[in-house]
Amino acid sequence: QKEVEQDPGPLSVPEGAIVSLNCTYSNSAFQYFMWYRQYSRKGPELLMYTYSSGNKEDGRFTAQVDKSSKYISLFIRDSQPSDSATYLCAMTRSGGSNYKLTFGKGTLLTVNP
Amino acid sequence: DVKVTQSSRYLVKRTGEKVFLECVQDMDHENMFWYRQDPGLGLRLIYFSYDVKMKEKGDIPEGYSVSREKKERFSLILESASTNQTSMYLCASNRDRGYEQYFGPGTRLTVT
């Protein structure tokens, strides 16, 4: 079983739709969870960062962590064409060497005007 | 604002050449990382450095070496480039005891 699973898509939605992006993981030691947005031919950009379980909201974006199910989500409300990108989840455990981020392979999202 | 820069956006090299990829960060971060990103394989860690002159191997170090002589600069070296090293190379950094990493724009390297 892979440590982090992420549906690669592609996901295509109309402008204004609510988008749900998800990752599942197998390592119960993961405590820190991140979402990155990567536009074509650019580097990943940190979008959201959460610790342990719960929700975090930032504008149109909401990150959700359910540690009991080992499942994290990113919701995008009122999606815009500028949200078209690949979304990567990433996670790591607390303590020890803080170098090892485990990434999902990314979901390609297209928002159509 | 966090800033990680990479020396080249696009690079074309010939098989057997020695290749240097440079990364500079201006956040005074202790940790720096080199990844490669390939379709279907995602991001894979090549090397990271947690201090000047200190380095550790990541998941795929073979064929690569690194150098960190100054805190803000981390170089990736391909001693003898091969076609299977054609990829997108991404540099990242974070502070000590930080978890989120900040990425540069990437260098798309083609080895012919």
Residue from A97, A36, A99, A25 nearest A67 by CA: A25
pLDDT mean across residues, chain B: 94
Task: Place B2 in a pLDDT band, splitting at 50, 70 and 90.
Answer: low
Task: Summarize pLDDT for B41-90 with one digit per residue, the tens.
Answer: 999 999 999 989 899 999 999 999 999 999 999 999 999 999 999 999 99
Q: Are A82 and A92 in contact (CB under 8 A)?
A: no
B90 to A49: CB separation less than 8 angstroms, yes or no:
no
CB contact under 8 A, B105 and A43: yes
Please give the Cα distance from B45 to B76 (Å, whole number): 12
Of A42, A99, A103, the CB nearest to B31: A99
Dist. CA A33–CA B96, nearest whole Å: 17
Mean pLDDT confidence for B18-22 = 97
**Structure tokens, B95:** 């502070």
CB < 8 Å from A in window 34-63 of B: 40-43, 45, 48, 50, 56
* Confidence (pLDDT) at A8: 86
A46-83 in b/e burial notation, b at 16+ Cβ within 10 A? bbbbbeeeeeeeeeebbbbbeeeebebbbbbeebeeeb
Determine the Cα–Cα distance for residues A86 and B19; give it in Å rounded to an integer. 28
Residue B10 in contact with partner chain A when CB distance is under 8 A: no
Q: Is B86 exposed, middle or buried (0-12, 13-18, 19+ CB in 10 A)?
A: middle
pLDDT mean over A50-75:
93
Can you tell me the mean pLDDT for B21-31? 95
Q: Can you give the pLDDT at residue B97? A: 77
Q: Which pLDDT does position B112 carry in this prediction?
A: 97
**Yes or no, beta carbons of B103 and A36 under 8 Å apart:** yes
Task: State the average pLDDT for chain A.
Answer: 92
C-alpha to C-alpha distance for A31 and A52, rounded to whole angstroms: 5
d(CA B24, CA B103): 11
B102 CB neighbours in chain A (<8 A) are: 46
pLDDT 10s digits, B58-70:
999 999 999 999 9
| Tokens 């500028």, located at residue | A82
Average pLDDT over every residue of B87-98: 91
Chain B residues near residue A92 by CB distance under 8 angstroms: 99
Cα–Cα distance for residue pair A7/A12, rounded to 1 Å: 13
Confidence of residue A96 (pLDDT cuts 50, 70, 90): low
Is the pLDDT confidence value at A98 over 60? no
Which residues in chain A are contacts of B101 at CB distance < 8 A? 46, 90, 101
- Alpha-carbon distance of B112 to B109, in angstroms, equals 10
Structural contact between residues B43 and A88, judged by C-beta atoms closer than 8 angstroms: yes
